[in-house]
Chains A and B, each alone.
Chain A
Amino acid sequence: MSALSFFKDALYADAYALKKGFLQSRDPRINVAAILLLIIAVLFVRDTAVLVWLYTFCLLLAACSKINLLFFIKRTWFFIPLFSLFIAVPAVFNFVTPGHPVFMFTLLHHPVTITREGLSGATLFVMRVATSVSLVILLSLTTKHTELLKVLRILKIPQLFVMTLGMCYRYIYLFVEIIEHTHLAIKSRAGTNIKHKKGREIATWSITNLWIRSYHLNNQVYSAMLSRGYRGEPQVLHEFKTTLRDWAWITAAAAISTLSFAVY
């Protein structure tokens, strides 16, 4: 079940979104745009030093948003290897990226050389992934998911789509709970030493069960929407306010983004 709890935590932790830090006090629309500008810079810059600056800036933003830096770094670097190592590590070696050798060793009687070009390419790549992942995580930590959904609406994505997305999000939690309860119920009845075949039967059964439940839920939720006057086009509340500080923040983000391009 720890995978489930991790999933639940990652998806639903909005403790940081409720703090009154820098990003939390900005208009979420502006935050999305500003982070987007920064990510564009990160994806196109070819100088590791500039990336290091951008990464530092991201950490600074996190600190101003009252996020525990240790927690933030741990969380981002937990995801980064998954993205980068598989692609970056092979590129270090001479048979992938030819160039000046920095380090040599033998592996299974074959000489292996790490090249300077390979190494710097890999560093650039890791820094790029690290910085963009950090920016995305920063945005998701400081914005409530409900507000992100509202921003999607404003970006002219059809209301129906956004509403469906919101409802999926809303009910994933319910399903995670149903799975958890089913698992607990099975455990308490059958103990933990379920034989392989039996275990598979139970899993199939509970997935079927989940399927039936989701079908019923779907019907019922639709009834609940009809009952409150839904006729195919949801009407929603808009309540974002943009202040001078928001405009200052987006201008700063745009400036940093342009500057990064100028440097390279």
Chain B
Amino acid sequence: MSNTIFALRNVHYAHAGKFPALCGIDLTVTAGEKIAVIGANGTGKSTLLSLLDGLIFPDAGRIEAFGRELTEDALQDEKYAQFFRKKIGFVFQNPDVQLFCPTVKEDIVFGPLQLGVSMEETLKRLTVLAELLEITDLLDRAPHQLSIGEKRKAAIAAVWAIDPDIILLDEPTAGLDPLTTRHIVDLITLASSQGKTIITATHDLHIISEISDTVYLFDKSRKIISSGRPETVLADDEFLKKNNLLHIHRHEHKDTVHSHPHLHPDTP
């Protein structure tokens, strides 16, 4: 098999058939890449990740995953479905959606047990991940007893437990304090250094140079309007400003008022 993982050709998608979310996406992802998908709210980042995870399917255009067209029918095939779900892990934007089990522990073992990993191996992964993410004390808690940072970590552990080769992350650092953000960025870079393919949707410009080597910028037209190395995309202030990723801050210094562009770490 070639090392192309995803190939998207002119993909269109509208929610409920009438709310356009993606309007003509072309994208190729090869094994081991680190990709960041950036764009303001409502530009279709989450929709793209759901398409890549085979949770929704294009209205027009074509998605190939591992050399086979990704359709609802293809995923009806038990063997392909099992292979596909083991290969790809998705950390959802809303951890309350992702953590649907009564306790953190049950959430972490859910994926591997569904996918036929042995009980022994599953419990081993549970211990290792709990330690790596520093959530050992939280394993018996219910998700509603966790802070947002702890929920994010638990959601990450639940996906890492599947040991997928491709990891999709939807705004993994939104709403987190700098220390927890650091912790999560380190986990992503660690996974990448182990050869995993990482695709992250974010508008946290501070982290993209660490978590990506290719950036795709989405805009209100719900298309990719620019792509390239993170330093190149980040250097274009005017461009970022136009796309709502940069704020102009006004400061008063003594008597003079001046304004300068300012990276906005976490647009809500």
Contacts and interface: CB of A to CB of B under 8 A. Distances in A.
Interface of A: 12, 144-146, 149, 166-167, 169-170, 173-174, 177, 217, 220-221, 223-231, 234-237
A24 B119 CA distance: 26
A236 B50 contact: no
B102 A170 contact: yes
B98 interface: yes
A125 B122 CA distance: 51
A217 B113 CA distance: 24
Given A146-B142, A220-B92, A220-B94, A237 B109 contact: yes
Interface in B88-107: 88-90, 92, 94, 96-98, 100-103, 105-106
B66 interface: no
Nearest to A144: B140
A228 B85 contact: yes
Contacts of B50: 223
Interface residues of chain B: helix, strand, loop or mixed (majority): helix
B55 A223 contact: yes
Given A174-B144, A231-B81, A224 B98 contact: yes
A225 B100 contact: yes
A220 B96 CA distance: 10
A224 B97 contact: yes
Nearest 3 Cβ contacts at the A-B interface: A229-B114, A228-B111, A235-B113
B102 A166 contact: yes
B97 A221 contact: yes
Contacts of B81: 231
Interface residues of B, number: 36
B158 interface: yes
B90 A227 contact: yes
A216 to B, nearest CB: 9
A180 to B, nearest CB: 12
B215 interface: no
B82 A224 contact: no
A221 B85 contact: no
B144 A228 contact: no
A146 B98 CA distance: 18
Contacts of A237: 105-106, 109, 113, 119
A220 B97 contact: yes
A7 to B, nearest CB: 14
Contacts of B96: 174, 217
A245 to B, nearest CB: 21
Given A220-B94, A228-B114, A237-B105, A173 B100 contact: no
